[in-house]
Amino acid sequence: MAAPGEKIRGAAWVTAVVAAILSLLSLALFPSIANGEVLISRIEWVPQLGLNLTLRLDGLAWLFAVLITCIGFLVVLYARYYMSPKDPIARFHALLLAFMGAMLGLVMSGNIIQLAIFWELTSLVSFLLIGYWYHRGDARDGARMALIITGTGGLALFVSMLVIGHIVGSYELDDVLASGSKIVESPLYPVALILFLLGAFTKSAQFPFQFWLPNAMTAPTPVSAYLHSATMVKAGVFILTRFWPVMHDHQLWFWIVTYTGLATLIFGAYTALFQRDLKGLLAYSTISHLGLITTLLGMGTPLAAVAAIFHIANHATFKASLFMAVGIIDHETGTRDVRKLSGLRKYLPFTATLAIIASAAMAGVPLLNGFLSKEMFFTETAEFDPNVFVNLSLPIGATLAGMLSVAYSIKFVHGVFFGPPPTELEKVPHEPPALMRRPIEILVLICLAVGIIPGITIAPYLAAAVHSVLGADTPYYSLSVWHGFNLPLIMSIIAMVGGAVIYVPYYRKLRDIDGVPLTRGLMGQRVFERILVTATNRWARHLVGAFGTQRLQPQIFVVIFLALAAGIAAGWARMGNLPLPQSFDPVLGLVWLLGGISALAAAQQAKFHRLASMILMGGAGLATCLTFAWFSAPDLALTQLLAEIATTVLILLGLRWLPKRSPVPESTPMAARLRRYRDVALAGLVGLGTALASYAIMTRSAPEGISDFFLANAYKEGGGTNVVNVMLVDFRGFDTMGEITVLGVVALTVFGLLRRFRPASDSAERPEQQRVLDDYAPGSSENVADDFLRIPALIMNWLFPVVVVVAIYMLMRGHDLPGGGFIAGIIMSLAFILQYLAGGTRWVEERLRILPLLWIGWGLLLALLTGIGAMVLGAPFLTSAFAYADIPLIGKVPMATALIFDLGVFALVVGATVLMLIALAHQSIRRPKVAGSNKPKQRAGTDKWN
């Protein structure tokens, strides 16, 4: 066991190495996609339905892949120092890797169904990561809210993908992107668009769905930096960009996307200004920047799309570094509350410098990357539009949002790093380990490099991404820092000055204000919570009250009644004219006269005379068994007979723990009697229905089934003449594999339940019969078999080897004659049970070591290995090979690998049957603890069974 510290390092190392390899791989792929080539790798799954695993890497996907892997790598490095050794660190790293995989799958999906699936996967992992500290209520609430919002959006997106696939006639992304104006011209376009936008807007936290993102800030800060600013929330704008070429050319798109984006942009920036929690401020800032990107994509011009893609990359770099800086502040001071923080510049000089540069990028200060894309945004909003409203609202809204974002950036920098030294902190902050700052340094360096020399840093990568979206429509755009003194620059200046004007006079108020003025009533969150409470609590309670019951009988009644109704509805019309019976077999008639009477009598006796009822049930079972033999199914007859014996022993063992029940002479109440009549009526109808259905089917000729295939190929392909057995161990071997697994699971469950078995107090005493014997001669109840069954017991003892030989014989010949693993297995277990009956539990276990758990384990393993053996030889799982071997004295013996599989079945059936029976039998010889009493258990002798 490694020390906790080592484990952290181990988990972090694994993740870091994976992330580093992935980053290098993505970076290395750039030359291949630089000239517009699209890399595709396809694994076919159900090509007939258009369902394939297609990975497709073009410029846009590449840009995202690099952001995901590189920022992922930096976040892992950062988290190495951020996370506390007390946190379950392996889970954190595992989820981080899972997220990276899901997100890469999303951006590289070449199939739109696959895209929707990866989309949901990112929501799921995000849920787990937000709820990482699940002992905290706010983390659980935030996680649930994020999952419900983004998951619902994902569902809408999935449907829209189906609609788009329907319009285009293909689910391959290549076909969709090549479909030209087909989608926009389709009458289904509005449906597809609304659903599509629901998906994109919920994921990218667009108004009015933005409220989940601030609540997701309960996640550890590395997660916030990675998922909730740099990558996952970008999935929404990613998909807008991805489908932009085929969907943007429509008025609906323009109005909805542009103005949702603009509303989000302004709302986010405005709300950010009033946040006390630094992460809350960054969260609203993220919302605002996502709104900016959405606005750009809504405008529909190629240049706006270029700006959007550029801003996606820029925002990811500066926002991730800011989140990491806030994480350091939180780590060093113990708080993220802006009211408690101030003057940290003196304590954290390096972190302060880095955070100030990143905030400047966020505010759009020149010579930083944020400035470039923001200028492009301003340029686009200032473009002339014939519509007066558009012409005014876009530039004014953009400038207003610019002012607000400058103001909140100043608030962040000034409030935290400047001013008097903090007084309310619990500890004196100091710089974190240099390595914790390294990721921030790298990101800030990128901000500077892109901002100062864009032409030689970002240009080729941006060009590839832009080209993959716009193709031949790629416009000319300039990345230079200085465009001359023009309208966008004026807007920028107004924003800068305006931001300062907003902040400076009011900074004390902004710092202490509680809540957001004006929009306080606009609480999407409150609406969401009310809906949630109503739907999952109040409505659910009403529904349960109206339709639910704790009682089993009404539930079973409804189930059977519905099944009957469905059967009648389906079968009534197809019943047709039933032919009169053609033949009657008096012997079979007699068998079933007895069998039917047994069944009815068993039903009647089950309440008060359990033993009689069980014997009568056996009578019906025997009739069933004879019927199997009658209609040419010897394997079934054998199995039925053996299972019947095992069931009987089992129930006999259980009877002892049931309460004594004798017929009450007093009359049954009217309600109970009515209920009984009702049940008799329902049971009668079900019986009539099944009888009619089976008669109708049996009197028609059989349809062309698959049986002929098995009959024709059993010998040729499977090497056996017992077709039923060949099917079980060869053709349908995988089914059998599943079935024996179920059998093993059931046996273990029985065993597990019985280990903690507590009998009811009135059954805990030893049975009356044993007490009578002991009163007569003390200890005689221990040797019942010897006293009462001496001769049968002797015969049973001697029969043991005979029965074992019969079992082996049945196993060996199963492939060609009736027999096989199931039958042989039950015979073998009966051999053991006979010994228990003859000698008593203690006697047997002193002489014979039976290890049913091992039988189960080896049986399953053997069956599995046989299957894998076939795979190793290049054939599908569980393919059988066969030959006939000539063994001296015995003669020609079929040797098929299926026999080894059947041996596994045999071992498992032996183990499972013996385990169930013996575990139950052992309850009678232990001195059980009575339910409810706390007396220590007195172990009686031998008991590994309890």
Partner 1 sequence: MELTLAIAIGVLSASGVYLLLRPRTFQVIIGLSLVSYAVNLFILSMGRLRMDAAPILSGADADITNYADPVPQALVLTAIVIGFAMTALFLVVLLAARGLSGSDHVDGKGD
Closer by beta carbon to partner 1, 715 or else 809: 715
* Interface with partner 1 in residues 112-151 (CB under 8 A): none
**φ, ψ for residue 441, nearest 5 deg:** -60, -45
Residue 595 beta carbon to partner 1: minimum distance, rounded to whole angstroms:
6
**Is 937 an interacting residue with respect to partner 1 (CB under 8 A)?**
no
The phi-psi region of residue 480 (left if phi > 0; otherwise alpha if psi is between -120 and 50; otherwise beta) is beta
Closer by beta carbon to partner 1, 110 or else 814: 814
**Is 863 an interacting residue with respect to partner 1 (CB under 8 A)?**
no
Residue 885, SS3 per DSSP: strand
Dist CA 696 CA 692 (whole Å): 6
The phi-psi region of residue 820 (left if phi > 0; otherwise alpha if psi is between -120 and 50; otherwise beta) is left
3-state helix/strand/coil string of 128-195:
HHHCCCCCCHHHHHHHHHHHHHHHHHHHHHHHHHHHHHHHHCCCEHHHHHCCCCHHHHCCCHHHHHHH
Closer by beta carbon to partner 1, 396 or else 697: 697
Residue 224, SS3 per DSSP: helix
* Interface with partner 1 in residues 418-457 (CB under 8 A): none
**Is 247 an interacting residue with respect to partner 1 (CB under 8 A)?**
no
Q: Give the residues across from 337 on adjacent strands.
A: 277
Asked whether the beta carbons of 906 and 821 are under 8 A apart, the reply is yes
- The CB-side HSE value for 126 (13 A sphere, CA atoms) comes to 33
Residue with tokens 């609540």: 215
What letter represents residue 420's amino acid?
P
Residue 926 beta carbon to partner 1: minimum distance, rounded to whole angstroms:
13
**Is 560 an interacting residue with respect to partner 1 (CB under 8 A)?**
yes
Q: Which stretch binds partner 1 (CB under 8 A): 27-35, 123-131, 489-497, 614-622?
A: 614-622
Closer by beta carbon to partner 1, 494 or else 930: 930
Residue 805 beta carbon to partner 1: minimum distance, rounded to whole angstroms:
22
Q: 477: burial class by Cβ within 10 Å (0-12, 13-18, 19+)? A: middle
Closest CA to 41 of 130, 122, 111, 135: 111
Dist CA 457 CA 26 (whole Å): 17
Around Cβ 351, how many Cβ atoms within 10 Å? 25
Residue 88 beta carbon to partner 1: minimum distance, rounded to whole angstroms:
34
Residue 937 beta carbon to partner 1: minimum distance, rounded to whole angstroms:
14
User: How many amino acids of this chain bind partner 1 (CB under 8 A)?
Assistant: 118
* Interface with partner 1 in residues 492-511 (CB under 8 A): none
Closer by beta carbon to partner 1, 154 or else 595: 595
* Interface with partner 1 in residues 749-808 (CB under 8 A): 749-750, 753-754, 756-763
Closest CA to 16 of 74, 58, 88, 61: 74
Around Cβ 511, how many Cβ atoms within 10 Å? 17
Residue 333 beta carbon to partner 1: minimum distance, rounded to whole angstroms:
54
Q: Which stretch binds partner 1 (CB under 8 A): 307-315, 539-547, 556-564, 851-859?
A: 556-564
**Is 512 an interacting residue with respect to partner 1 (CB under 8 A)?**
no
**Is 853 an interacting residue with respect to partner 1 (CB under 8 A)?**
no
Closer by beta carbon to partner 1, 159 or else 560: 560
Residue 930 beta carbon to partner 1: minimum distance, rounded to whole angstroms:
9
Angle at CA 372, nearest 5°, toward 62 and 375?
125
**Is 686 an interacting residue with respect to partner 1 (CB under 8 A)?**
yes
For 269, residues 6+ apart whose C-beta sits below 8 A from its C-beta are 284, 285, 288, 401, 404, 405, 408
Asked whether the beta carbons of 330 and 356 are under 8 A apart, the reply is no
**Is 715 an interacting residue with respect to partner 1 (CB under 8 A)?**
yes
**In the stretch 178-207, what mask flags binding to partner 1 with x, by CB under 8 A?**
------------------------------
Residue with tokens 């889970």: 91
Residue selected from 135, 430, 508, 716 as contacting partner 1 according to rule CB under 8 A: 716
* Interface with partner 1 in residues 899-928 (CB under 8 A): 909, 912-913, 916, 920, 923
Closer by beta carbon to partner 1, 457 or else 713: 713
Closest CA to 800 of 773, 824, 825, 836: 836
**Is 40 an interacting residue with respect to partner 1 (CB under 8 A)?**
no
Residue 675 beta carbon to partner 1: minimum distance, rounded to whole angstroms:
8
* Interface with partner 1 in residues 655-684 (CB under 8 A): 657-659, 661, 679-680, 682-684
Closer by beta carbon to partner 1, 181 or else 699: 699
Dist CA 439 CA 230 (whole Å): 14
Distance of CA 281 to the CA centre of its chain: 33
Dist CA 164 CA 243 (whole Å): 10
Residue 747 beta carbon to partner 1: minimum distance, rounded to whole angstroms:
7
3-state helix/strand/coil string of 553-569:
HHHHHHHHHHHHHHHHH
Q: Which stretch binds partner 1 (CB under 8 A): 135-143, 150-158, 517-525, 596-604?
A: 596-604
Dist CA 483 CA 422 (whole Å): 43
For 608, residues 6+ apart whose C-beta sits below 8 A from its C-beta are 661, 662, 663
Closer by beta carbon to partner 1, 314 or else 624: 624
**Is 577 an interacting residue with respect to partner 1 (CB under 8 A)?**
no
Closer by beta carbon to partner 1, 504 or else 940: 940
Dist CA 153 CA 201 (whole Å): 8
The secondary structure of residue 513, as a DSSP letter, is -
Closer by beta carbon to partner 1, 584 or else 776: 584
* Interface with partner 1 in residues 805-844 (CB under 8 A): 816-818, 822, 826
Residue 87 beta carbon to partner 1: minimum distance, rounded to whole angstroms:
39
Residue 771 beta carbon to partner 1: minimum distance, rounded to whole angstroms:
21
Pairing verdict, β 891-896 and 39-46: unpaired
**Is 646 an interacting residue with respect to partner 1 (CB under 8 A)?**
yes
Residue 891, SS3 per DSSP: strand
Two tokens, residue 914: 């013996």
* Interface with partner 1 in residues 379-408 (CB under 8 A): none
Residue 730 beta carbon to partner 1: minimum distance, rounded to whole angstroms:
11
Q: Which stretch binds partner 1 (CB under 8 A): 192-200, 246-254, 319-327, 605-613?
A: 605-613
Closer by beta carbon to partner 1, 21 or else 655: 655
**Is 553 an interacting residue with respect to partner 1 (CB under 8 A)?**
yes
**Is 562 an interacting residue with respect to partner 1 (CB under 8 A)?**
no
Residue selected from 394, 728, 828, 925 as contacting partner 1 according to rule CB under 8 A: 728
Asked whether the beta carbons of 125 and 102 are under 8 A apart, the reply is yes
Q: Which stretch binds partner 1 (CB under 8 A): 200-208, 236-244, 350-358, 726-734?
A: 726-734
For 489, residues 6+ apart whose C-beta sits below 8 A from its C-beta are 375, 483
Residue 916 beta carbon to partner 1: minimum distance, rounded to whole angstroms:
5
Two tokens, residue 850: 């039976």
* Interface with partner 1 in residues 618-637 (CB under 8 A): 620-621, 623-624, 627-628, 630-636
* Interface with partner 1 in residues 733-752 (CB under 8 A): 735-736, 739, 742-743, 746-747, 749-750
Residue 912 beta carbon to partner 1: minimum distance, rounded to whole angstroms:
7
Closer by beta carbon to partner 1, 39 or else 696: 696
Dist CA 458 CA 452 (whole Å): 11
Dist CA 721 CA 715 (whole Å): 6
Q: Which stretch binds partner 1 (CB under 8 A): 142-150, 551-559, 864-872, 895-903?
A: 551-559
Q: Which stretch binds partner 1 (CB under 8 A): 19-27, 334-342, 651-659, 864-872?
A: 651-659
Two tokens, residue 601: 């009598």
Closest CA to 397 of 272, 484, 494, 319: 494
